[in-house]
């Protein structure tokens, strides 16, 4: 039996090759940048790309975005010292 859940990737939904390469180079050069700041830096270089596209490129190539920004957002969230974290019981 063949597994029917395996699907081929849809090539037309991917970013252009030059955008992928630039986003990956930027992510390796500046690993602390999140998708929004990386998109800003790429815009200054002449490549107009959305932050969601940068995040998608990093996900396709199994490169994690900046630590902590994905789940908590730029504002912090339920971190240490904020009083919002659930107590260990």
Higher-scoring residue by pLDDT: 80, 12: 12
Phi, psi dihedral angles at 30 (to 5 degrees) = -130, 80
- Joined together, the tokens standing for residue 16 give 């252009």
Give me the pLDDT at residue 62, please: 80
Length of the chain: 89
Question: In sequence order, what DSSP letters do the residues of 2-60 get, joined into one string?
Answer: --TT-----GGGSPPHHHHHHHHHHHHH-TT--HHHHHHHHHHTT----HHHHHHHHHH
Q: State pLDDT tens for residues 9-68.
A: 676 678 888 999 999 999 999 999 999 999 999 999 999 999 999 998 998 888 776 655
Contact 54, 23 (CB under 8 A): yes
pLDDT reported for residue 16: 87
83: pLDDT strictly greater than 80: no
Of residues 87 and 58, more confidently modeled = 58
Torsional sign, CA 70, 19, 36, 41 = positive
């Amino acid at each position: 039996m063949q597994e029917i859940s395996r699907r081929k990737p849809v090539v037309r939904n991917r970013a252009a090759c030059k955008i992928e390469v630039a986003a990956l180079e930027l992510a390796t050069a500046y690993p602390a940048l999140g998708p929004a700041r990386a998109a800003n830096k790429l815009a200054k270089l002449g490549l107009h790309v959305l932050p969601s596209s940068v995040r998608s490129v990093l996900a396709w190539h199994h490169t994690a975005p900046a630590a902590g920004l994905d789940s908590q957002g730029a504002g912090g969230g339920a971190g240490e010292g904020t009083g919002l974290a659930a107590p260990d019981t």
